[in-house]
Amino acid sequence: MTGSAAGSLYGQLASGGITVLCREEWESASEAFDVVLSQDTMVSGMITLLRYEGGYAVVEEPGPEERVLRGFDDESSARRFVEERMDTYERMWDGCGCRIDYYE
């Protein structure tokens, strides 16, 4: 990933929005991030907490060819998000009928 492409992605994450990338785009972009924590959701691939120049992000795998990234100002809010997601996945295993909207 070039410096300008990484800077553009960092800017999108810093704005607090959701960024959707195909798997290949993410594989290229992932080199610009440091993994803090990675957990298998047992339902929808991995959920990974990342550190980058300027903040933190979480990447999720809603499908085999798609990655959804969202930015966070600090590590504690990113960790809370991961914990809440993992709680939801656990309830899904228990048959709660709940679903995750990766794009909200």
Q: How far apart are CA 43 and CA 14, in angstroms?
A: 28
- Tens-place pLDDT, residues 37-48: 999 998 899 999
- pLDDT at position 40 is 95
Q: Where are the domains of the chain?
A: 3-93
- 2-53 pLDDT per residue, tens: 555 667 889 889 888 899 999 999 999 999 999 999 999 988 999 999 999 8
pTM of the prediction?
0.89
Q: What is the pLDDT of residue 17?
A: 81
In the chain, the N- to C-terminal Cα span, in Å, equals 27
Q: What percent of the chain has pLDDT over 70?
A: 93
pLDDT for the residue numbered 31: 93
